[in-house]
Amino acid sequence: MLAPNNPALKSWLEIPASSDFSIQNIPFGVFQTGAHGPRGCTAMGAYVVNLGMLHDLGYFNGIVMPPDVFKQPYLNTFIAMGKERTRAVRQRISDIFKANSPYPLKDNSEHQQHVLTPMYEAEMLMPVFVRDYTDFYSSEYHAFNVGTMFRGPENALMPNWKHLPVGYHGRASTIYVSGTDVHRPFGQLKADDSDPVYGQSKLLDFELEMGFIIGKGNEMGQQISTAEAEDYIFGMVLFNDWSARDIQKWEYVPLGPFLGKSFASTASPWIVTLDALAPFRVAGPPQNPPVLDYLKYSGKKGFDIHLEVMLETEQGHEKVICQSNHKYLYWNIAQQLAHHTVNGCKVEVGDMMASGTISGPEEGSYGSMLEITWRGSKPVEMPDGTSRKFIQDGDTVYMRGWAEKEGVRVGFGEVKNKVVNRS
């Protein structure tokens, strides 16, 4: 067990048991305030911890890092230092904040004023510069539900689905951080009995996903095996891959998603490291038929991460409409990366790979409005008496995720986005 993961660790900071940001978590992000520009940070309870200031004050002495590594707009340079040094930083942060810390921060109020910022005063920014983005389709429950709607249960899964992690190349330039408004997109729409028309999407949907961030690159032509894959993955984020179902339906044959997806995707501001998630590993589901050799793996590659989606109307009425879990993925992150690079594809630090919608086995665990309302035939009834087949203007979608075990909670915060109409 890595020392920062010890469930017995307590912090000298007061951290409620319900906080996503326990001393065992130590996620990484970027924030700014009115007093300074972007700074690398972590979260501890209700505080954002300024890592740039900790560095300036000498708390990272002995760890070789560029002097400005935490004073950049993104974490790419920090992540590119490699797991040995980023792990050392996480260990040092744990030592600084543990109850019996040998470091002076716990007793130095002046240092605390420089280092600790209440979360409500911090503006969280996109944590990495996303060089490239791939979205997978890795939940069997989701793929079966969607396939059943359009092709019937006998032909729900396409012939290749259980042989490889299906994916498509998405648009990195429109990945935004939580809190960014999502504009209802325009595109071509076509009803079954009419010619296509130009207009705004009427079937706007969320997709409950998780993404992982590439922590080191490979060379062009170099394959990354399932055994090596996690050495190339820095950590994970919550992810909402927004979808315009009506635009997507008309355009996706033969080359797949395009304008129905590329208008917006949103990520949580906190990257939770694979190290922090290690205590929450679980075995993946049986894979039948057996996969090809390059997709075989050993060990526990799934994660028991509880996921939920809450929908809020413009008037403030809220309802939790989905409760799912990362462990439901059929294809794990090691298999996704191994398949992505089996042809020699080059990946780079900061690249993002998303899971695809994570749906569970029963109603209540479906990760999109398309499934929750079953193509609009079962509208979601809201507390104010209104109903939703898809997401309406003024609605806000919240996604939250956390793992919990032995009294320790490791969470991701939230992805929150309001839908606005720019017409």
Catalytically annotated residues? 142
* DSSP per-residue string spanning 161-196: TTTS--EEE--GGGEEETT--EEPPEEEE--TTS--
- C-alpha distances (whole Å) from 126 to each of 186, 237, 379, 385, 396 are 25, 11, 34, 36, 19
Cα–Cα dist 140/257, whole Å:
19
CA-CA distances (angstroms) from residue 309 to 187, 239, 359? 27, 11, 11
Pairing of strands 265-267, 243-244: unpaired
CA distance 140 to 161: 9
Residues linked to residue 209 through DSSP beta bridges, in sequence order = 239
Which residues make Cβ contacts (< 8 Å) with residue 249, sequence separation at least 6?
190, 260
CA gap 206, 53 in Å, rounded: 37
Find where tokens 């920062």 sit: 4
Phi–psi pair at 199, nearest 5 degrees: 180, -175
Alpha carbon separation from 75 to 81, 209, 260 (Å, rounded): 10, 22, 29
Give, rounded to a whole angstrom, the gap between the first and last alpha carbons of the chain. 54
